[in-house]
Chain A
Amino acid sequence: MAYIKDTIAAIATPPGKGGVGIVRISGPVAVRIGKEISKRETEPRVATLVSFYDDRGRTIDQGLLICFQGPHSFTGEDLIELQGHGGPVVMDLLLKRAIQLGARQAGPGEFSQRAFLNDKIDLVQAEAIADLINSSSEQAALGSMRSLQGDFSNQINSTLKKLVQLRVLVEAAADFPEDGIEAEINKDEKEKLKYLLNQLDQLLEGAKEGHAFSQGVSLVLTGKPNAGKSSLMNALCKRDVSIVTEIPGTTRDVVREDAIIEGVTFRILDTAGTRQAKNKIEAEGVKRALKEVERADIVLNLVDVSENIELEMMEELEKNKRAKEIVVYNKVDLLHKKSIPSSFQCVSVKTGGGLQKLKKRLIKELGVLSGGDSIFSARRRHITAIEQARIHILEAIGFIGIENQIDLLAEELRLAQLALDSITGTFTSDDLLGEIFNNFCIGK
């Protein structure tokens, strides 16, 4: 039974700089996508060496293309695999190209789900599929939450707020023409839309450049001075990049270094400890540290347990931490009898104890194990959504001031919001009406 008629795509291999990465595409237009991305026909079930091209005909990568015709494929639908050189940049470009060519980014567990729905997986495995959907949607939610930290989230929300204001005006003019609402949608609104467009462009730039795609995962070390941040950085990078002393406040600026952990590149940033700064230079360092925390994918908050820290305080720390934050309890070697719950992340940078566990935790946090549902795919999803919203805003601008087409203007604005909603959560027509009733005195 064919349940769904669209085509899905996802990166099937864990993100990171692995040797080979695979983008998998399944659905009715999968074969066409394969043809267009490689600019050639390939024989089914034969691995063919091809070049993958982007929308302007430039080579993205060279690799293998394998095409499986439904029902003889993993999902039971037409399915292609693009095997390229691993690494987030190439994989992301391939995925992006597949989406441009008509695929949709796959939801959590969707490939397996389709396989099941098309009788390619045994009935007995229904529970396993359910688990997969559940666990990977949790991962996706986490990934999404992390991607939405800091500036990015603020910007998205402020953009959405402005979009909703415009929609309230347009929809109110359409649904309540007799309630004295300014019916003319004119120059002012055009300017507002252009401003929105500009904001979306900035968001895109920020999301594309400032984030993990090309440079890896940004990992920021914070904590009180002398908690051992610089030592941890050196341990993770396996060489001395930060100056380590016993004097609190040694690191005054942000120190950056790359480390490869389980094949994933982490851009580690060691920051000045957050304390009341003793001088101007240190104060500037603290300020920069806070900014880096905002931008980071993962924050390691180092706590020195050798300083009198009560269990209650730790629990408080765990409770109040950010979504992307891991509290790391350092210097456990100095503890004698105090016991710390095993769920808390403990290390001794000095002895090396707990470092392996910490590294594993970092990889787990990225959602690497579940394959396509990590912070990387979350961000790709967000970028796709912003790009779509941008197209609709652009269309909407064209309808401003044109008589008889406020309904089309309203439609474009609705679609723009629908796209952004996929990032921030649903905004229903009832929410919209609520906004209208709050803003205008409606009703005869």
Chain B
Amino acid sequence: MKAFDVIVVGGGHAGTEAALASARAGASTLLLTQNIETIGQMSCNPAIGGIGKSHLVKEIDALGGAMGIAADRAGIHWRILNSRKGPAVQATRAQADRALYKAAIRKIVETQVGLSIFQQSVVDLRFKGQKVDSVITDSGLRIKTKGLVLTVGTFLGGVIHVGLNKQTGGRMGDGPSNLLAQKLRDIEFGVDRLKTGTPPRIDGKTVNFGLLEEQPGESQRPTMSFLGKPEDHPRQVLCHIAHTNEKTHDIIRKGLDRSPLFTGQIEGVGPRYCPSIEDKIERFSDKNQHQIFIEPEGLGTQELYPNGISTSLPYDVQLDLVRSIKGFEDAHITRPGYAIEYDFFEPRNLYPSLQTKKIVGLFFAGQINGTTGYEEAAAQGLIAGLNAARLSQEKEPWVPKRSEAYVGVMIDDLVTMGTKEPYRMFTSRAEYRLILRQDNADRRLTPKGRELGIIDEKRWTKFCEKRDRIDEISKKIKKIFISAEDKKVNAMLNKPLGREYSVFEVMKRPEIKGMALLEAAGLKMISSSVAEQIEIDCKYQGYISRQEKEVEKNKSHFDQPIPSDFCFDSIPGLSNEAKQKLALIKPKNLGQAGRIPGMTPAAVSLLMVYLKKGDSIQNVQAD
């Protein structure tokens, strides 16, 4: 088989974005998957987005990725979360029809120029020295490549638990990738185990929805993609909310002796923010009920996903616990819930480009790096795929900074601090939360994406239109004044104006809605997305410029690069602990060095002095 610039192993959320980004960047790309039918499969809950997560989706979208577009084509129930708490923490979530989502991703992957799909299991990797050379598949094919992106999800050494029964597998119904796992274990990337779980699925026709609380979607539906329109959405459905009760909790407590989680059978660490129902009941024993979100699996199926009761208890306990819930008295379980343990590799062994430090050309993305969530995986996939392509083209890698994107926050967290539990994005992880909003992902990243060559003409044209319109209106509103007697505007305000103010000034008042004020000021024909940006720019101006100043101030300091061959041992004043950590993480710049847990400001100062010393010696030699 012919050689490729980049090979991506795995067709999940990380793999598809990786393959697409690589192809968009102009590299000849091959996507290898065990099963083409599972490309774009949502293995866990049927939803895209959520707090911190829609931020990631919109960033992926702003860089030309597929996730947002697919979500728009598959979203059957839309919610705006935190709609009244401020734009920085506002988020979008869509319940997605699994089949529609998969089909949308498949279509985007299949139509991408420069991207080939091939159904093969990878059983071995070949290196030349410390460099990627080729992959060997189960049919004995050897395919050469310059960049290799592994996005193997939970398939490495995957073990599935239902009660005390366990079996190997990467997802219920699919086998694990054990040969590959062994190969990677041999390279000593620092392997560890994590755990995640799913709830039992329920047959919708056996549920009494009349007893459940209805949760309708938004009437004014948002979209996930910059290019999306509400008209892209399929038919909308309702979600429901149910609750566990004391009886449920008793059933669970009685079954704990057969819970692999509590008998010590499961060694992997699970996420604290997504505990199994047995965990919740043990840890918060004072709560007499827990919420369950009843999510439809899709338009073409009756199956339901009861989000909130992920469990690895035995089937008989699962059935009893489900049937103890109001409305589920006669429920039938279509697929039992299970816990899955899998290998992940110490992400501190990666550069921010997601290339491994040990093997040139080998990139990791997704759950293999200790993260959880479709959005987290997809975002890493995009960065890994892009950088694999850039490596094959002998270009410098690109990774957004913490001040530029949530993707940057996530990657920096992973490669600098590692993780002990499956890593999920939260807005509180971002110190520049006020400038990293979901509403401005396009403004933050699309120009950069264009520069990197991964933004097509259609998106770029539409982006430029919006950008120019924002610039134009921003200038205008400083020159248009509202008189003190303006009835329309005063009616919007808690306190009347009192004197003449510019539209810009009035916009800063918290009670003002952007679009309404612009219309009152005679500025017509403005799209809601432009009005939104104008409003937020005005209201947040002080904060945004404060954070921007902070970014600017730190730039010269923290962006100071550290050569990859820099010898930290040569710094006499550093503690051994600091030296070890620096040698392991090989920080790219002073800022990253400073964020390594346990690094003191004095240690960073020392590092700065010795970086300078290294520079000067080189200069002397160059002279």
Contact = CB atoms under 8 A, between A and B. Distances in A.
Interface in B123-168: none
Contacts of A410: 89, 428, 433
B184 interface: no
Interface residues of A, number: 53
Interface string A161-203: 0000000000101111111100100000000000000000000
A108 interface: yes
A344 interface: no
Interface stretch (B23-31, B169-177, B273-281): B273-281
A402 interface: yes
B560 interface: yes
A320 B574 CA distance: 28
Contacts of B616: 123
A301 interface: no
Contacts of B272: 433-434, 437, 442-443
Contacts of B308: 443-444
B606 A134 contact: yes
Contacts of B612: 1, 116-117, 126
Interface string A415-444: 000000000000011101110010001111
Given A130-B571, A174-B51, A407-B89, A441 B290 contact: yes
B612 to A, nearest CB: 5
Contact of A407 (B52, B87, B291, B293): B87
Contacts of A406: 82, 85-86, 89
Interface string A296-334: 000000000000000000000000000000000000000
A23 B539 CA distance: 40
B510 A126 contact: no
B276 to A, nearest CB: 9
B377 to A, nearest CB: 18
A407 B88 contact: yes
Nearest to A409: B86
Contacts of A131: 573
Chain A CB within 10 A, most for which of B271, B557, B560, B602: B602
A338 interface: no
Contact of B429 (A3, A129, A429): A429
Contacts of A127: 572
Contact of B609 (A130, A178, A433, A443): A130
A49 interface: no
Given A130-B573, A411-B434, A405 B510 contact: yes
Contacts of A2: 556
A334 B592 CA distance: 59
Contacts of B95: none
Interface in B256-293: 271-275, 280, 283-284, 287, 290-293
Interface string A90-128: 000000000000000001111001001100000100110
A260 interface: no
Contacts of A180: 291
A175 B426 contact: yes
Contact of A6 (B45, B307, B431, B553): B553
B608 interface: yes
B568 interface: no
A133 B274 contact: no
B609 A107 contact: no
A341 B433 CA distance: 56
A42 interface: no
A137 interface: yes
A406 B90 CA distance: 10
Interface string B372-395: 000000000000000000000000
Chain A CB within 10 A, most for which of B82, B85, B543, B597: B85
Contact of B275 (A123, A126, A428, A443): A443
A185 B158 CA distance: 44
B188 to A, nearest CB: 26
A174 B85 contact: yes
A403 interface: yes
A402 B510 contact: yes
B51 A177 contact: yes
A414 B88 CA distance: 14
A129 B609 contact: yes
A176 B427 CA distance: 10
Given A3-B556, A130-B609, A403-B510, A177 B81 contact: yes
B210 interface: no
B551 to A, nearest CB: 12
Contacts of A130: 571-573, 606, 609-610
B556 A4 contact: yes
Chain A CB within 10 A, most for which of B87, B291, B431, B606: B606
A335 interface: no
A430 to B, nearest CB: 8
Interface string B552-584: 110011001000000000011100000000000
A5 interface: yes
A123 B618 CA distance: 12
A429 B606 contact: no
Given A107-B605, A133-B573, A407 B428 contact: no
Chain B CB within 10 A, most for which of A109, A127, A175, A180: A175
A429 B275 CA distance: 20
Contact of B81 (A126, A178, A429): A178
A116 B608 CA distance: 10
Given A174-B428, A441-B280, A3 B605 contact: no
A183 B308 CA distance: 20
A123 B617 CA distance: 9
Interface string B516-558: 0000000000000000000000001001000000001100110
A5 B558 CA distance: 11
A404 interface: yes
A178 to B, nearest CB: 7
A106 to B, nearest CB: 11
Contacts of B600: 137
A46 interface: no
A20 interface: no
B84 interface: yes
Contact of A441 (B51, B287, B307, B601): B287
A408 interface: yes
A179 B284 CA distance: 13
Contacts of B82: 174, 177, 406
Contacts of B488: none
A443 B271 CA distance: 9
Contact of A3 (B271, B275, B557): B557
B476 interface: no
B524 to A, nearest CB: 25
B89 A174 contact: yes
Contacts of B467: none
A110 B51 CA distance: 41
B613 interface: yes
A3 B572 CA distance: 22
Given A4-B557, A126-B610, A130-B571, A110 B605 contact: yes
A50 to B, nearest CB: 30
Nearest to B560: A3
Given A123-B616, A410-B433, 9 more contacts: A2-B556, A123-B613, A130-B573, A133-B605, A137-B605, A175-B52, A175-B427, A408-B86, A443-B272
11 contacts: A3-B556, A113-B605, A117-B609, A126-B612, A177-B51, A410-B428, A410-B433, A429-B426, A430-B417, A430-B429, A441-B275
Shortest 3 CB-CB distances between A and B: which pairs? Answer: A407-B86, A137-B602, A407-B88
